[in-house]
Amino acid sequence: MSRILATATAVPSNRVTQAQAREIAARIYRGRPELERLLPVFERTGVETRHLVHPPDFYEQGRTFDERNASFADKGAELAEQAVRDCLGKAKLPADKIDHLFLTTTTGLATPSVDALLAHRLGMRSDVKRSPLFGLGCAGGVAALARAGEYVRAFPKQRALLVSLETCSLVFSTKAMTDTDLVGAALFGDGAFAAIVGGDEVAPAGPRIVFTRSHLFPGSEGLMGWKFTSDGMRLVLSREVPGFVRDQLKPAVERFLMEYALTRSKIRHFLLHPGGPAVLEAYRDAFGFDELTLDPIRVSMARHGNLSSAAVPFLLHDLLASGRARPGDKALLVALGPGFAAEMALVGW
């Protein structure tokens, strides 16, 4: 068995409202009617506020990819460290009690990877195992939770720390040219999540990571991802994603549950990736969810925007902090990412 000992989140101190974000975009895109006409999308995302690793004027100054990516390693490591120190404090554990560090990110590149920077900053043991995970996109946080749970099941005397770090704002470039670039600027925010997972012999209590599943959908490679350019990463996000979710996700989820003799009626909490209003509508249509089920997802989206790999982990943290989960409850975590892929995990109390 693997159990979650503690979770923590961190967001940068620079908080912007969606109205402020639209004003910034309007200044950047002034004189470009093909993009100015899309500015109303800022009001249709369901996002109300976001947190950014830099003050807003940083993003108006035409930063190069070199500058933005260097900031990912610097500011990103600071943000991740904040979440990890909070998590270690809640678990009452020193950093040298962590045996394996998993880090997932998709919004910056660093070698040494950010997990190595964290290990040094936190004073982890020199023999700590590290697994940096890149390219899983929005599915990365649930995937990291699953991999950490699998690791401590194999090594029940050990503890794993997982970190989901996303500085989505640093992907933005004033040279962005497409509709999708602007949609990304309206949706994504910055944040970090940390969790400590322990095996049976070191974690006698806490929510259990019961079952996990990865599902790769054939022939869907072009739906989501990054296009790598000399000016950095450009968002790839097909208009077909909501329809694909509506048609293809439900069978994959039901097969996952059926394998363990479960049905959706046995699940009390649904923690689903908040990819935007159209994706939330697709969940509702496919699964028949009522608005009460989707409310926590909408609230997180309004407060933070889409946090990529950290989005579903933030929902998990909110659920744990709220006290809404009771003994016997189960939560289904589903995150979607490039591939096109779904990462699923069942957590039980």
What are the catalytic residues? 138
The answer to whether the Cα torsion of 167, 299, 348, 202 is positive or negative is positive
Cα separation of 293 and 237, whole Å? 26
In DSSP terms, 9 is beta-bridged to 193
Phi-psi region of 298 (alpha: psi -120 to 50; beta: other; left: phi over 0): alpha
Cα separation of 335 and 341, whole Å? 8
